[in-house]
Structure 1
Amino acid sequence: MALTKTENEKGQPEVLPAALFGLCPNCGQKTLFANLTKFSDKCRACGLDFSQYNVGDGPAAFLTLIVGAIILGLALAVEANFHPPIWIHIMLWVPLTVAAVVGSLRVSKALLLILEHRNQAREGTIDGSDCP
């Protein structure tokens, strides 16, 4: 049985393509997201319960700062080289910033969920007992 380039030995999709396309980490179907950035409750194909994973909004602030720095650098470069009117800046940078933040948030949340599934990450325990 030959493995495809996007599957590992367990039949699961590779991490990066799964994160980019919103694939279920178990079966590889495009069922990870219910809408733009909200996870589905479970996979419609294999029934994997996505609500058991705790991704949270950890990536949101981090990505907003990174995207903001990149957009600011680009806006300053455009201003220094072309001196466009302010309305051009608004029409260019506001939609680009929103698209970059939402797109990167979607991919990063998917990546965290997929890695949590792959590594079977759970809450910490001490000596086999659950931590309070």
Structure 2
Amino acid sequence: MSVVPQTSEPLHAGFHGRCPRCGQGKLFNGWITLRESCDVCDLDYGFADSGDGPAVFITFFAGFIAVGAALWLEIAYQPSFWIHGLVSLPIILVTCLVPLRPLKGWLIARQFQMDATEVRNDDVSGGYQE
């Protein structure tokens, strides 16, 4: 296994939306749309597939925060349902949208750091075959 020298800390760079190899180029076009390649070191981002990973982690986190806040609000003040909606909606939006970009960048940088690629059917040897 070869070791590729790093010019930046990939996880820190990914968390900040920068190229995991050079730490300078942009990782995203816009908010969460992945660029095709780094504009500084020409790293092809074709390897990157974060899939639903960021959304799953964020959903668990946001659900925990939103349900906790709703329970606290209900126990402490017993407001009507529209107050629950008025308070819960911003909490859910903030806890879902704010961490999405950093977490997606971090997971892509982790893929780069671990040299992870997608497994294809022809890559697998052995196992069940008819």
Correspondence 1:130 to 2:123: yes
Q: Structure 1 residue 102: deviation in Å?
A: 2.1
Letter in 2 for 1:11: T
Unaligned runs of 5+ in 1: 1-8
Residue 80 (structure 1) aligns with: 75
Deviations 1:24-80 (A, max 9, x none): 101112511112222112112222111222221233234213311221111211222
| Ranges of 4+ aligned residues in structure 1 off by more than 6 Å | none
Alignment of 1:24-103 (within 5 A): 24-29=19-24, 31-103=26-98
Unaligned runs of 5+ in 2: 126-130
Q: Report if the CA contact (8 A) 2:47-2:117 is conserved.
A: no
Give the 3-state SS of the residue equivalent to 1:107 in structure 2.
helix
RMSD, matched Cα: 2.6
Give the distance between the partners of 1:86 and 1:13, measured in 2 at CA. Answer: 47
Give the distance between the partners of 2:20 and 2:14, measured in 1 at CA. Answer: 9
Q: Once the two structures are aligned, what percentage of the paired residues are identical?
A: 32
Give the distance between the partners of 1:40 and 1:91, measured in 2 at CA. Answer: 36
TM-score by length of 1: 0.72
Residue 8 (structure 2) aligns with: 12
Q: 1:114 aligns with which of 83, 105, 109?
A: 109
